[in-house]
Amino acid sequence: MGSFSFYHWLIVLAVVLLLFGGGGKIPKLMKDMGMGINAFKKGLKEEKGGPESKDVETARLERSEMASTAERKETANS
């Protein structure tokens, strides 16, 4: 008969969860897992938006303001 493969164990686990876990526990478990994944993604985004990126953003805005000021001066002189 041979040993069980990964898919056999997956089916057995699903049947055990349905029999002993009840129908309402699986959706709740999946919802909790989804909320955890979203919190993880939000944490990664906040890490990227830390103080270093604010400094970079400020420098970028200052450069664009200087460029627009230089353009205004050129237009006024022309």
DSSP string, 3-17: ---HHHHHHHHHHHH
SS3 23: coil
- pTM for the whole thing? 0.36
Nearest to 17 by CA among 7, 3, 27: 27
Q: Examine the pLDDT at 60 and tell me if it is beyond 90.
A: no
CA angle 7, 30, 45 (to 5 degrees): 110
- Per-residue pLDDT averaged across 1-23, rounded? 81
Confidence band for 8, pLDDT divided at 50, 70 and 90: very high
